[in-house]
Amino acid sequence: QVQLVQSGAEVKKPGASVKVSCKASGYTFTDYYVHWVRQAPGQGLEWMGWINPDSGDTDYVQKFQGRVTMTRDTSLTTAYMELSSLRSDDTAVYYCARDLLRGGDFDQWGQGTLVTVSS
Amino acid sequence: DIQMTQSPSSLSASVGDRVTITCRASQSISNFLNWYHQKPGKAPNLLIYVASSLQSGVPSRFSGSGSGTDFTLTISSLQPEDFGTYYCQQSYISPRTFGQGTKVEIK
């Protein structure tokens, strides 16, 4: 079955970087985009951007430009999201999600990775 | 950026009630509107895509309608497992903005 399995929780100090992985299985990894969405504690969903696993092309929301990098390793069928210069307000659960390219919806989600930024 | 506004922000309803949640876009998004359901501590789950298409495996009590700027998610007969927060999301243009969420409680 289709699965997106993310890496475990992280605790980082302000100014550090974090890299979250998203391992895809059960489908052809390069056929569909992977998006990243985050959710701060008690807050709503915030879209961060996407990566085309086939070409490596990316699109990031303006807010994260310069701080976020989305990459992939097709041999490992894994997508990565790295966020740098972490601040306390980056504390959130980070999700990866699959886009079937039929209308832009996200039909499968990872379980989420909690990133805590604290001194 | 396109702003997505949901109403109400929260509601409380009884099992068996018909529940309606609305989502308004700040500009036309055609039918590129998706609905998700999220339970506490869990990832969101896709319910409806492109405004009115029911995602595979989702119960038929969920339905969506609308186009342009105004959209509706309807639960025809609320069930106990439907508690949680519902989000709309536009996929017309980047950034793919979400509504602020509608929290549904079971009376």
- Beta-carbon separation of B43 and A104 below 8 A: no
**In this predicted model, what pLDDT tens digit does every residue of A82-117 receive, in sequence order?**
999 999 999 999 999 999 999 999 999 999 999 999
Give the pairing type, strands B4-7 and B19-25.
Answer: antiparallel
> Taking 90 as the threshold, does the pLDDT of residue A74 lie above it?
yes
Statement: residue A65 has pLDDT above 90: no
Looking at residue A28, its pLDDT comes to 97
Q: What is the pLDDT of residue A70?
A: 98
A109:B53 CB<8 A: no
Number of residues in chain A: 119
Nearest C-alpha of chain A: how many angstroms from B97?
Answer: 6
Q: What percent of chain B has pLDDT over 90?
A: 100
DSSP characters for A51-99? E-TTT--EEE-GGGTTTEEEEEETTTTEEEEEE-S--GGG-EEEEEEEE
Q: Per-residue pLDDT tens for B8-59?
A: 999 999 999 999 999 999 999 999 999 999 999 999 999 999 999 999 999 9
B25 Cα to chain A: minimum distance (Å): 16
pLDDT (mean) for A34-51: 98
A54: left (phi over 0), alpha (psi -120 to 50) or beta: alpha
- Position A104: which residue type? G
